[in-house]
Structure 1
Amino acid sequence: MRLTLQTAENTHEFGLRLAAVLRAGDLVILTGPLGAGKTALTQGIGAGLGVEGRITSPTFVIARSHRAGIAGVPLVHVDAYRLETLDELDDLDLDTDVDAAVTVVEWGAGLAERLAESHLEIAIERRADEVREVVLHGRGGDWAERLASLESPVGASA
């Protein structure tokens, strides 16, 4: 699935819509350069899941857990930018949270895939005009069906 998101707000809105197809146990791996919109997308996902607290980049703390609000699903938000090995990822003990929460890992390609049997990879590129090009790849599980159920958000084109 490919999308073009016209504004940063559209990136957040897409996160809201994506949250509707996410469930506890899902792993989402985000890639893209600094400023591409990975945290904005995660903020939208968190809002759509109904988590408590403000979602900010976990760059310095590496991982943040957000409790579920009323009837929501918890979110674990990880920034793997400074992690270099699988051992460092294991030290975070994320696998204990993966089954009970949606886990979003920024900069996780090549490291985080082993946290779950299936996962969703989202690559975000920000063009010079601030438009985001987004590519979603479901790996295993029922991702193809879930992604097909998404409607294009406002400001997006397929």
Structure 2
Amino acid sequence: MSGPVWERRLDVSTAAQTHALGAALGAVLEAGDLLVLTGELGAGKTTFTQGLGEGLGVRAGIISPTFVLVRIHPNLPAGPRPGGPDLVHVDAYRLESAAEIDDIDLENTMDTAVTVVEWGRARVEHLSDSRLEVELHRTRGGAGDTPDAGPAATVVDAAAPVLDFDTDDDDEPRTVVIRGFGPRWAEPPALPGIDSSGTGEPETALPETTPQPPERNA
């Protein structure tokens, strides 16, 4: 398996910066793109994915898919990217192999959606010849934290109520590592806060935006 074409590292100080980085990346993603998202409990995966959803212009309400396998967030016709891709948000923590990934038929949505797979490393690489890997690292503790075991479910609509145990919206500093693989990502995307010189140092300050709380149905 070939290694990454490039790597970028960025230190973020607040949840708002984590959200803003996700939004900047979401704005350049296209249908067919695959992201593999890694980070211990509380590292900021949900906050980052909420930012991705904002940048993609999909329906709000993104929460951790801890007790489901897949949540689908459709593109909003009246949003910032009408006609853009949906967001397919996958939790592969309980899936042990690529074969189990195949069982949930992600191929059916790959061409029309951006697919984000938490805990997807060594499970989803066969789905596409290109991918982004995003790692979020906390600066203290939590390295051994993993989601509590719970009943697995199948694909659900994003409006379904689900308890969210990935409460990662605090302002603890984190490091975000983004790696590009394959021809789609031969060059790193131009994103606020990541330079183009290859040093990995922040180029400009990320905008301070306030992450929106997830929508919950009664």
Same fold (TM over 0.5): yes
Distance in 2 between residues matched to 1:25 and 1:37, nearest whole Å: 24
Alignment-derived partner of residue 87 in structure 2: 75
Alignment-derived partner of residue 145 in structure 1: 187
Q: Which runs of 5+ in 1 are unaligned?
A: none
Q: CA deviation at 1:144?
A: 4.2
1:154 aligns with 2:216: no
Q: CA deviation at 1:7?
A: 0.9
Counterpart selection for 2:175 from 110, 124, 133: 133
Distance in 2 between residues matched to 1:154 and 1:84, nearest whole Å: 38
Distance in 1 between residues matched to 2:58 and 2:32, nearest whole Å: 15
Distance in 2 between residues matched to 1:144 and 1:36, nearest whole Å: 27
Conserved? CA contact 1:21–1:146, under 8 Å: no
Superposition map of 1:8-47 within 5 A = 8-47=15-54
Alignment-derived partner of residue 123 in structure 1: 135
After TM superposition, the runs of 4+ consecutive aligned structure 1 residues lying more than 4 A away are none
Q: How big is each residue's C-alpha offset from its partner over 1:42-94, in whole Å with a ceiling of 9 and x where there is no partner?
A: 11000111111411111111111111112132000001111112221111100
The structure with more radius of gyration: 2
Q: Which runs of 5+ in 2 are unaligned?
A: 1-7, 141-170, 194-205, 209-218
Alignment-derived partner of residue 88 in structure 1: 100
Q: How big is each residue's C-alpha offset from its partner over 1:105-140, in whole Å with a ceiling of 9 and x where there is no partner?
A: 011011011111100001110112811101111001
Greater helix content = 1
Distance in 2 between residues matched to 1:29 and 1:65, nearest whole Å: 16
In the superposition, the TM-score normalised over structure 2's length comes to 0.67
Distance in 2 between residues matched to 1:154 and 1:46, nearest whole Å: 17
Report % sequence identity. 53
